[in-house]
Structure formats: structure tokens, C-alpha cells
Amino acid sequence: MASWPPVAADLARLRETLAWVARRSSYWARRFESAGVDPARLASYEEFRTRVPRLDKAELVANQRAHPPFGELLAAPREEIASLHTSPGPIYVPRLAEERGGTAVLAAAIRAMGVGRGEVAHVTLSYHVMPGGLRLHRAFEEAGCLVINGGTGASRLQVQVAHDYGATVWAGTPSFLANLRDTAREMGLRLPYRVGFSTAEALTPALRRDLETSLGIELFDHCGEAQIGPLAGECRMHDGMHLHTADLLCELLDVETGEPVGPGGTGELVATQLGPHALPLVRYAPRDVFRLLPGACACGDPAPRLVFVGQAGAIRKIKGVLVHPAQVHAVVSGFPELGRFQIVVDHPPGARYERALLRAGTVRPPADAAALARELGARLKATVLVGMDVELVPESAIPEAAGAPRFAEAMVDRRAKA
């Protein structure tokens, strides 16, 4: 994988990739030219970092809308495209036949869990439209496993299949694993899983303990990003997630200064895809913030280890207190009636103080709505240290992008900008 900070070999590969990209994509040719960067002559990582601007998701979406369907980032003629994925936005993500599409990275992450030939893997991520389920399915096949294409939903059938095939490995979101466990209980069946690949949702310590003890399973937390694909996963030490990135240059940069972050520091991920890609991303910044763990891992894998902190854009100062939606999520998830939520911050003209409203989405009608709202307000005040009004709404009224683990739309800031 590419090192952090980058070394000479990484820079050589970066130069080669950028030159390829500039030849094939009108967007990137223009962008490098206006930044005064000649990709073939890029002298240092510093030059790359300080000159080439970041690409954010909004820019990518806008460019695809203006030049449908793939936008000007496209770097391959249609006949070279092997498959089409869609990620939230929606963003259309074409893939070249030669692109590894994240499976090499996933296969490494699967081996780090101690999973290999002879295991039966049950994949319960969605196989529809988004790339997640299919990608993980291919990776488990590559790792030598027998793979069950479970997908989401149809819990009773999934429990039956996992039981009858003797699935030893489970993969999916922790909330769906909890659903399968409860369903198996109702059916009087035991799920035979030995290890689990948890992804696409926060695996909180409480949730991990609950699932591990009730199922007798060892869970491994993993994370990825919609456009970039899989990023990092836990090894058997369960002390942070190793960055398993064969074809990515990952920068970790201070949120305020943009300077590279060292061991122990917290920084925003900026990723550049290395090698040929149909829709090449250069300095793509999804606004995910990670902490870089110091020291070497006891497992012997030298790949850097990360802990996901949250979305850079989601952190807000409310009534003088820094609040991350993940903290609010920890409180809200203690109420089984509640799902996604949004925090609306406002400072009405003439009002003396800011106002914070928690719009909590209900997944089922609460027995006593007023009592639930009161209790939620009190727990928020006690743990997040900010008083919030609480409004209960059906979960469908809260955008899906507000949900864990990214909370991209969980904060609605209506305060006038100074």
C-alpha cells in the first residue's frame, strides 16, 4: 500500500497516474492546468498537497448533472467499461474491467480476520443498485470461501439458509445482525457464525458486547466510503482498523490547517486513486475524520491503524459546546422506539439565545410520546451537555443521509453566518 506520509515510490506511481488521468479526462486536464501542475514533472508530495485542489462530493454530483451521465471526470470510452455502480447522490460510478474494484483490499481485510478457504460466508449487505453486497461477495469468493448471497430483508429465510448451510462467517450491518439474532430466537434456531464482518454502520462498544455475547461471535469492524470503496478493517488485535489500501494514496490532514497529521493525531481523509480508473478521483475529500493510532500493531501488519471519529462537516458548536451527532446517536440509540434524527440549530432574530431542536424519528409508535420526549431531553442534557427541545416525527421524515455512521445531514444549521 501507499505509505503515510508518502515515500518516493508512492510519488512515482502518483506521477504516472496523474499523467494518465490528464491525457484521458478533460476535467482533470483543466484542473491540473489551472493549478499550475504538470503531472509528469510533479516534484514532491508537498507540491501535490499545496497545489492540487480537493474534490468534494457536491462538485462531483454537479459535474455529472451538467454532463450526464458520467460527467467530465470520465477517463475511458464506453467500450472499456465493465460495470456500472451507483452510490448515494446519486453518483454514477463506471468501472473498468481491469480495475480491482476494491476486492483486493477486501480480500486482505478478510484474511486479517483469520478467514480463508473452507469457510461459508453469509453476505447480508444490499446487492441492489449500490456496490457493497456484490463487492463483498466477490471478495469472499476471492478469499476461497463458499458465499451465500443473502442481501437485506427476508430475515426468516436468511436465518434458515445460514443455519442449513452452516455459515461460519457473517458480513453486513450490526443492526441487521441483531435482527437476524432475534429472528433466530423466535424460530428456535442457532446461528452457526464464528466471526463477523461489520460495516456501513457504527459498531458501538455496547452493541459489540451485546452481539458478541448473545451470538458467541467475534466481530471485526470495517469502514469504507461510497466513492472510494473499502478503506480499513480490524485485525485480531481489535485495536483500530488497518488501512488496507492497495491502490489509494491516503492523506490525513489537519481539519483547520490542512497540514499532514502524524501518529496520534486526528485528520481528515483525502484520497487519490492510483492506477487506471474509469472515473478517477484525485484528492477526493469525503470529509471523514480519523485518528491515526501511534506505534506498531501486535499482529505484525505494518499498515497504519485508524479510528473513525466522524464527519468533519457534522461537528457544530451549539450554545458554546462542540457537538458531534455521534454523541447524540449514542443517547438516541438507547431508545428502541427511535431511529435516525436531525439536530436543527437556530438563532431567531431578536432572540437572546440559540435554540437547538432534536427531531427524533420513531420506528414504531411510542407508548407515551410525551414521557419519551421528556426522558430523551433529560439524557441529552446530562451527557451531551446541551439542552435541546425534542420533537418526535416518523423516521421517514428524516433523510437517510442523516443516519449513522456518517451523519452527513444530521445537523441543520439555520443560524445566520456572521
Distance in Å, CB of 292 to Zn ion, minimum = 14
Distance between CA atoms of residues 357 and 366, nearest Å:
19
Burial class from Cβ neighbours inside 10 Å (0-12, 13-18, 19+) for residue 58 reads exposed
In 3D, which of 328, 329, 326 has the Cα closest to residue 310? 326
In this complex, which beta carbon is closest to Zn ion, that of residue 210 or of residue 301? 301
Burial class from Cβ neighbours inside 10 Å (0-12, 13-18, 19+) for residue 67 reads middle
Q: Which three cell numbers stand for residue 340?
A: 435516525
Q: Which three cell numbers stand for residue 149?
A: 448471497
In this complex, which beta carbon is closest to Zn ion, that of residue 161 or of residue 299? 299
Angle at 254 between CA 197 and CA 225, to 5 degrees: 30
Pairing verdict, β 288-292 and 305-311: antiparallel
Q: Which of residues 326-345 bind Zn ion (CB under 5 A)?
A: none
User: Which H/E stretch holds residue 221?
Assistant: strand 218-225
| Given 235, 278, 404, 411, the residue binding Zn ion (CB under 5 A) | 235
| Given 237, 309, 312, 385, the residue binding Zn ion (CB under 5 A) | 237
In this complex, which beta carbon is closest to Zn ion, that of residue 90 or of residue 263? 263
Distance in Å, CB of 235 to Zn ion, minimum = 3
Size of the site for Zn ion (CB under 5 A): 5
In 3D, which of 402, 398, 404, 395 has the Cα closest to residue 362? 395
In this complex, which beta carbon is closest to Zn ion, that of residue 93 or of residue 195? 195
Q: Which three cell numbers stand for residue 96?
A: 473498468
In this complex, which beta carbon is closest to Zn ion, that of residue 233 or of residue 286? 233
Distance in Å, CB of 233 to Zn ion, minimum = 10
Distance in Å, CB of 241 to Zn ion, minimum = 9
Stretch that binds Zn ion, among 137-145, 229-237, 255-263, 338-346 (CB under 5 A): 229-237
Stretch that binds Zn ion, among 178-186, 237-245, 272-280, 325-333 (CB under 5 A): 237-245
Distance in Å, CB of 223 to Zn ion, minimum = 15
In this complex, which beta carbon is closest to Zn ion, that of residue 14 or of residue 306? 306
33 three-state secondary structure = helix
In this complex, which beta carbon is closest to Zn ion, that of residue 142 or of residue 301? 301
Distance in Å, CB of 307 to Zn ion, minimum = 13
Distance in Å, CB of 112 to Zn ion, minimum = 7
Distance in Å, CB of 236 to Zn ion, minimum = 7
In this complex, which beta carbon is closest to Zn ion, that of residue 104 or of residue 297? 297
Distance in Å, CB of 244 to Zn ion, minimum = 11
210 three-state secondary structure = helix
The b/e string for 207-241 (b: 16+ C-beta within 10 A; e otherwise) is bbeebeeebebbbbbbbbbbbbbbbbbbbeeeebb
Contact call for residues 198 and 219 (beta carbons, < 8 A): yes
Contact call for residues 410 and 342 (beta carbons, < 8 A): yes
Angle at 326 between CA 349 and CA 297, to 5 degrees: 145
Distance in Å, CB of 108 to Zn ion, minimum = 12
349 three-state secondary structure = coil
Distance between CA atoms of residues 318 and 86, nearest Å:
35
| Contact pattern from residue 95 through residue 134 relative to Zn ion, giving x for each residue in contact according to CB under 5 A and a dash for the rest | ----------------------------------------
Stretch that binds Zn ion, among 31-39, 134-142, 227-235, 268-276 (CB under 5 A): 227-235
CA 91 vs CA 145, 181, 372: distances in Å: 31, 34, 38
User: Which H/E stretch holds residue 258?
Assistant: none
In this complex, which beta carbon is closest to Zn ion, that of residue 231 or of residue 356? 231
**Cis geometry, peptide bond prior to residue 53 (ω within 30 degrees of 0):** no
In this complex, which beta carbon is closest to Zn ion, that of residue 106 or of residue 343? 106
| Contact pattern from residue 283 through residue 322 relative to Zn ion, giving x for each residue in contact according to CB under 5 A and a dash for the rest | --------------x-x-x---------------------
391: contact with Zn ion by CB under 5 A: no
Stretch that binds Zn ion, among 48-56, 87-95, 153-161, 233-241 (CB under 5 A): 233-241
Distance in Å, CB of 323 to Zn ion, minimum = 32
In this complex, which beta carbon is closest to Zn ion, that of residue 235 or of residue 249? 235
Rounded (10°) CA dihedral 147, 306, 270, 408: 80
Give the residues lining the site for Zn ion (CB under 5 A).
235, 237, 297, 299, 301
